[in-house]
Amino acid sequence: MRADYRVLLDACVLIPMPLADTLLRMAEEPRLYVPKWSSLILDEVTRNLIENWYLVPEKAHRREAEIRRHFPEALVEGFEPLIALMTNDPKDRHVLAAAVRSHCELIVTYNHRHFPAASVQPWDIEI
């Protein structure tokens, strides 16, 4: 892996703290890869931490704020027009669109079934 290897992190891998911590530490200097995500992904993380993991809202929002503060370059914007072009699972089209917009080579996710090979091959993105 190269230090400029762009990787989009899906919400499902940013929710469990041990996994998120490991992935984010590998993205710190000297980084092993360049992390990417969108506000929609971070919103999903925070919402799930509160609703499904029962984290106190203040802690969930603080966690999101700290992620944003430490990795400001990770935020992907301007991907929304691409969502309609994506052919993967409708719930995760925003994820693939953000990966395409930010020229990611890999999406890290547990939801492999939401990204069938035919939907990512045209963009040369691995899951």
Average pLDDT, the chain: 97
In the chain, how many domains are there? 1
How far is residue 8's CA from residue 27's CA, in Å, rounded to a whole number? 12
Tokens of 52: 């499904």
Identity (one letter) of the amino acid at 62?
A: R
pLDDT at position 2:
65
Tokens of 17: 């703290």
- Is residue 79 domain-resident? yes
Q: What digits encode the pLDDT tens for the residues 96-119?
A: 999 999 999 999 999 999 999 999
Tokens 């990204």 belong to residue: 115
Instruction: Please report, for the domain that includes residue 56, its CATH number.
Output: 3.40.50.1010
Determine the structural domain holding residue 30 and report its residue range.
Answer: 6-123
- Is residue 1 domain-resident? no
Q: How many CB atoms lie within 10 A of CB 117?
A: 9
Q: Give me the torsion for CA of 81, 107, 30, 46, rounded to 10°.
A: 70
Show the DSSP H helices in the chain as ranges: 11-14, 17-26, 39-51, 57-70, 93-101, 117-120
**What is the pTM for the complete model shown?**
0.96
Q: How many CB atoms lie within 10 A of CB 72?
A: 8
Total number of residues shown for the chain: 127
Q: Give the count of alpha carbons within 13 A of 92, CB side only.
A: 22
- Is residue 49 domain-resident? yes
